[in-house]
Structure 1
Amino acid sequence: MLDQIADVGRDVQRGGYSRHAYAAPELELRHWFVEQAVRRGLNVETDQNGNLWAWWGERGDDALVTGSHLDSVPGGGAFDGPLGVTSSLQAVDLLQAKGFTPNRPFAVAVFAEEEGGRFGVACLGSRLLSGAIDKDKALGLKDPDGVTLAEAMRAAGYDPDRVGKDEKALRRIGQFVELHVEQGRGLAVPVGVASSILAHGRWRFTFSGEGNHAGATLIEDRRDPMIPASHLVLAARKAARGGARATVGRIVPNPGGTNVIASTVDVWLDARDVDDARTRAMVAEISDAAGKAAREEGCELRIAEESYGGTVHFDAALRDDIAQALGGVPALPTGAGHDAGILAAHVPTAMVFVRNPTGVSHAPEEFAEQADVDEGVRALATTIEHLAS
């Protein structure tokens, strides 16, 4: 099924895929999902936050829900998100072929803007559904072209006035199980389950200096915000110790000319560690270093926390139940965020991981062996049958 969508959203500049929320490639994938779900006799609806739900039988409370997302990071791989969606549909195929019918409500869900690749906040669809983000803040988020989430939703045919915490949809989820390609090299066997997610967040550092001419301005006369921005990159690497992760993946100078000293530079920091205290301490250390470098260059610094999620420990009883049903597969932590992690604060959630032999993710080289993918589908089918019997 991944081959069916292999040409959707290819990024010829970066390589891989760029499938962002409410942009043409992601909308095409939504239509594809609806078509595939209907072929299987599933009833599809869209909730008030743009998330898709494909129900096997009647919708209702205490449902078993599986699924993932279809959007990507800029230049992302083929498996992150879509593997969980296609595996869910193929698990339905296996169960229908053997004549199984769920004894509780069951749905395959596709959550909107999980990666935050367009509007900067990860897991936006599940955050809105669960009330983990203020709806007005969310609707005001802008993409790199200045388009707000509200404008993008409206242009795609969705009503932004309905956005916000959805108690009815949340109440329907009795358990949520998300299959995902593992985003590291922690699995030595084809399939495992998740134990926890590192505390993580995103911060925007805005350095303000003085724009000027690159050729006519002496070094000693400059207030160049790119200098403290560079210090921030190095400070992040230095502060990430003992298994912590700190990454600068995006830098945007303004105005961005080769022969122009920037007037402002925006830098986005992604920081993760095993618990809240360590994550916050690492960000504080990086912020102090960035502030010192800004002052030395005669620049100003503003820091804004764009999103944050504390350490997630998945429901232990559900995790162990699934692991046992799958023959005692291993449990492992992950440094990657997921919709399952957002929903874990409200309902029992679990994750099934499919082995990633290289550990590469969020890049075109992301990969999983076909045999492992098949094993993941069978594992998800077994999980659904076990929990919905």
Structure 2
Amino acid sequence: MSSPTDLLAEITTVGADGARGGYSRHVFDRSEHELREWFTGQAEKRGLQVTTDRNANVWAWWGEPAPDAVVTGSHLDSVPGGGAFDGPLGVACSLTAIDLLRAEGFEPSRPVAVSVFAEEEGSRFGVPCLGSRLLTGAIDPDVARDLRDPDGVTFAEAMRSSGLAPDHVGRDDESLGRIGQFVELHVEQGRGLVDLDRSVAVASSILAHGRWRFRFRGQGNHAGATLMDDRSDPMLPAAQLVSATRRAAFTRDGSRATVGRLVPTPGGTNVIASTVDVWLDARSEHGEHVGEIVGELTEVAQQIAVDEGCTVQVSEESYTPTVSFEAGFRDDLSGLLDAPTLPTGAGHDAGVLAATTPTAMLFVRNPTGISHAPDEFAEAGDCLDGTRALARTLRHLAA
């Protein structure tokens, strides 16, 4: 039987980012295609039946696809320069959990499936958990088809280039109807398990979170020939917004607000930008605080834009309210595994599916506490604990 770290070792070169460090694996790019092929090969090696649904999510079935299946899995894409464990660990543990159950002679009485959801990070087309949002109908298909990557390629065009049919994306009741329960294993994105000195936990909730784009417009011009008093430079209100973001989060307990991406156009060193796009990520333990943060920053952005002779347009790219995993399911797994429960500030496909399906999550300890960066990590022993916990969960649900 392979260990999850054995499986992860097979993909260490796929999507390795020499410039940023870590991995850059984005939906429908070369590296993500390689990972899909790797997953398909691993599933077929185990005799699992592999299908791809109309929203580009991949399913590997132990048993014939049928309603009321027990589904596990995660995603294979990453943020730019992300770590090796965010997403792929859940997929690797799912495959090795099946290996473990088979080694024990277990035969499920319900179908079991491993899922790989598309564009979970939203790093190419901007909307996180896009595959699960489409599956559940949480995003309009026309909106999804028209999403564009930084090169202007639409989601529909990228799907076609990958041999898929974008005309059919959207809520998929047939696939949804097959999910009886969904359990996602994920490396912890924080230090909760380190502080508890435990290797595995069960998720209790996901913080409310969303993404907003602030587009500042000014007048592009020559950096040397334009006097300081004659400028409408959108970079100045953009910079002030970044500082205001930190203040807005600090004044609200349990909140986080981040600007991790800022794009000036045209982006020349000796050019005053004509537009600057600033992306805000806002999250909070108190759902109402997210709206308050965005409202406050919108007012600030409008005022500082006027002060610099610019304009600003604010648009919501995604929002997910607080997700509290179903208490009975959560407590059942916590008791079964003798595992603590922990909230998370990170979004997951399990949080999207929770609106339509009984869902739960397992976390594996991350000794660095760092995620979405190359220093993200999980010890081999803890990954094996995660496999054992997931196998025990699947046995419990599918017996």
For this structure pair, what is the TM-score category when the shorter chain's length is used for normalisation? over 0.9
Counterpart code for 1:217: T
Q: For 1:135 and 1:38, how far apart are their aligned partners in 2?
A: 31
- Superposed displacement of residue 162, structure 1: 1.3
Alignment pair present for 1:10 and 2:53: no
Q: For 1:307 and 1:347, how far apart are their aligned partners in 2?
A: 21
Alignment pair present for 1:107 and 2:113: yes
Alignment pair present for 1:388 and 2:398: yes
Alignment pair present for 1:367 and 2:377: yes
Q: For 1:150 and 1:61, how far apart are their aligned partners in 2?
A: 29
Q: Secondary structure of 2:192's partner? A: coil
Q: For 1:153 and 1:375, how far apart are their aligned partners in 2?
A: 37
Q: For 2:73 and 2:142, how far apart are their aligned partners in 1?
A: 27
**Structure 1: stretches of 5+ with no match in the other structure:** none
Q: For 1:136 and 1:227, how far apart are their aligned partners in 2?
A: 35
Q: What percentage of residue pairs aligned between the two structures are identical?
A: 66
Q: Secondary structure of 1:240's partner? A: helix
Pick the aligned partner of 1:269 from 268, 280, 303: 280
When structure 1 is superposed on structure 2, of 63-72 and 318-327 the one drifting more is: 318-327
Counterpart code for 1:295: V
CA contact (8 A) 2:232 2:309 kept: yes
**Structure 2: stretches of 5+ with no match in the other structure:** 1-6
Q: For 1:349 and 1:219, how far apart are their aligned partners in 2?
A: 56
Question: What is the match of residue 330 of structure 1?
Answer: 340
Question: What is the match of residue 226 of structure 1?
Answer: 235
Question: What TM-score, normalized by structure 2, do the two folds share?
Answer: 0.96
Counterpart code for 1:337: G
Q: For 2:286 and 2:248, how far apart are their aligned partners in 1?
A: 15
Alignment pair present for 1:316 and 2:322: no
Q: Secondary structure of 1:5's partner? A: coil
Q: For 1:276 and 1:334, how far apart are their aligned partners in 2?
A: 14
Superimposed CA distance per residue, residues 328-374 of structure 1 (whole angstroms, 9 cap, x where no aligned partner): x1101100000000000001100000011111000111111111111
Superimposed CA distance per residue, residues 301-340 of structure 1 (whole angstroms, 9 cap, x where no aligned partner): 000000010000011111111111112x110110000000
Q: For 1:102 and 1:320, how far apart are their aligned partners in 2?
A: 23
Spell out the pairing of 1:1-389 with structure 2 (5 A cutoff): 1-187=7-193, 188=196, 189-241=198-250, 242-327=253-338, 329-389=339-399
Q: For 1:235 and 1:195, how far apart are their aligned partners in 2?
A: 31
Question: What TM-score, normalized by structure 1, do the two folds share?
Answer: 0.99
Superimposed CA distance per residue, residues 56-81 of structure 1 (whole angstroms, 9 cap, x where no aligned partner): 01111111100000000011000000
Q: For 2:234 and 2:114, how far apart are their aligned partners in 1?
A: 47
Aligned pairs, how many? 388
CA contact (8 A) 1:275 1:310 kept: no
Q: For 1:75 and 1:158, how far apart are their aligned partners in 2?
A: 27
- Superposed displacement of residue 243, structure 1: 2.0
Superimposed CA distance per residue, residues 206-251 of structure 1 (whole angstroms, 9 cap, x where no aligned partner): 0000111111111111110000000110011001122211000100
CA RMSD of aligned residues (A): 0.7
Counterpart code for 2:147: L
Superimposed CA distance per residue, residues 13-60 of structure 1 (whole angstroms, 9 cap, x where no aligned partner): 111101000111001100110110011111010001000010101111
CA contact (8 A) 1:121 1:307 kept: yes
When structure 1 is superposed on structure 2, of 275-284 and 334-343 the one drifting more is: 275-284
Q: Secondary structure of 1:352's partner? A: strand
Q: For 1:358 and 1:25, how far apart are their aligned partners in 2?
A: 26
Counterpart code for 1:93: D
CA contact (8 A) 2:27 2:118 kept: yes
Q: Secondary structure of 2:226's partner? A: coil
Q: For 2:385 and 2:47, how far apart are their aligned partners in 1?
A: 24
CA contact (8 A) 1:198 1:310 kept: yes
Q: Secondary structure of 2:237's partner? A: helix
